[in-house]
Amino acid sequence: MITRILYDEEAVAYDAVVTHPIQTWAWGDFLKIQGHLVYRLGVFDKNKLVSGYTINFHHLPHTKYTIGILQRGPAIDADMLANIKNIGQKENAIFIKIEPDLIAKHIDPEGRTTDINPLPEFPDLVISPKVAFFPHSFIIDLTKSPDQLLADMHSKTRYNIRVANRHNVEVVEDSTDTGFEKYLDLLWLTTKRQGFYLHSRSYHQKLWQTLKKTGLIHILLATYQGKLLTAMMFFAIKDRFFYPYGASSDEHRNVMASTLTMWQAVLLAKELGATSFDMWGCLGSDAKPSENGFGFHKFKQGFGGQLVQFVGTYDYVLNPNFYKIYNLVDKARWKILRAKALFSKASVY
């Protein structure tokens, strides 16, 4: 096996071996537009590309240092660490954050766990104090029939689907520029209302412009009496389907438009040939009503997916002294961002 940096001409071969949307070649192009340095590496068995991953670096303002990120790539191994260390040193990285797309455990409704994959055991890795993806998610098995999927749902979720149908809520796919702008407008209003931190409108617009022709993105819109109530964005890659973003109006919540939209997404995913539907993130098995995001967690849980725990987030530290300083500064920065989000929420009312 050899690993090397890939050429642009190898984009199609690379996309054939990656299985997560943020590891695709197009996502790397999007990161470049954001000003990140992007490296795509391919693992070859003789002359055949058998695996690959993208690592990107962003500069810390007013310094010569960078931070590396390798999210939702393959399992960590010694060859990967050696290669990203060499690149990280070249780019003056303080550390490289690694979040493999690898499930560690299945968790049943009683909180009992079944081990699926072992945690990484490399002495140079430390458990990261800050995650990018939630360490847990619900994953729906789409190999089941629609009737079985409905049977696996929480009874309240099934009931809410019927409520939406009785109110003649209409859900359509509109993966066009117009559909995207409707989705983004509603997303922006939802974020302000709920006090969440969100990337800029420009970020989302550039993501759409870069990925819209790849077939990765699907947008579903739900209307009631001509008014847009719910908008959701989904990613489809090979036999996997993902739910990264969603937005909902505060009006007519009694017609359960969001629940019907998600059910239609399940049916769309099956139509596209997906065998699994990853909800992108949720709380853990001990989730409490007082926790931020509990309502969203319960919404996702209602669709009957398997609760999983990923192997986690690790930092490959290349500069220990600056790593300590960075974490202190970053912690303060996020406190400020959360305060701004709460202020924006207050200003809506």
Q: Residue 25: which CATH number?
A: 3.40.630.30
Report yes or no on 300 lying in a domain: no
Same domain, yes or no: 40 and 155:
no
73 and 98 Cβ atoms separated by less than 8 Å: yes
Any domain includes 331: no
What is the span of the domain harbouring residue 80?
2-101
184 and 95 housed in the same domain: no
Same domain, 21 and 79: yes
Domain boundary among 256, 274, 292: 274
In three-state secondary structure terms, 346 is helix
299 in a domain, yes or no? no
Instruction: Quote the number of domains for the chain.
Output: 2
Amino acid letter for position 199: H
Looking at the structure, do residues 17 and 70 belong to the same domain, yes or no?
A: yes
Residues 96 and 166 in one domain: no
Task: State both tokens at 95.
Answer: 């550390």
Q: Do 261 and 150 fall into the same domain?
A: yes
- Among residues 101, 127, 156, which one ends one of the domains? 101
> Which residues lie closer than 8 Å to 318 by C-beta, 6 or more apart?
85, 88, 89, 93, 94, 95, 96
pTM of the model: 0.91
In a domain, 17, yes or no: yes
Is 76 part of a structural domain of the chain? yes
Per-residue pLDDT of the chain (349 residues; tens, 9 = 90+): 899 999 999 999 999 999 999 999 999 999 999 999 999 999 999 999 999 999 999 999 999 999 999 999 999 999 999 999 999 999 999 999 999 999 999 999 999 999 999 988 898 899 999 998 999 999 999 999 999 999 999 999 999 999 999 999 999 999 999 999 999 999 988 877 666 667 788 999 999 999 999 999 999 999 999 999 999 999 999 999 999 999 999 999 999 999 999 999 999 999 999 999 999 999 999 999 999 889 999 999 999 999 999 999 999 999 999 999 999 888 876 565 555 554 444 333 2
pLDDT at 335: 64
Q: What is the DSSP letter of 205?
A: H
What is the torsional sign of CA 277, 279, 284, 289?
A: negative
Q: Does 163 share its domain with 95?
A: no
Structure tokens at 347: 């200003």
Per-residue model confidence (pLDDT) at position 44: 97
**Given this model, what pLDDT does residue 348 score?**
32
Q: Which of residues 227, 246, 274 is at a domain's end?
A: 274
Please tell me whether residues 242 and 150 are part of one structural domain.
yes
**Beta-bridge partners for 4:** 42
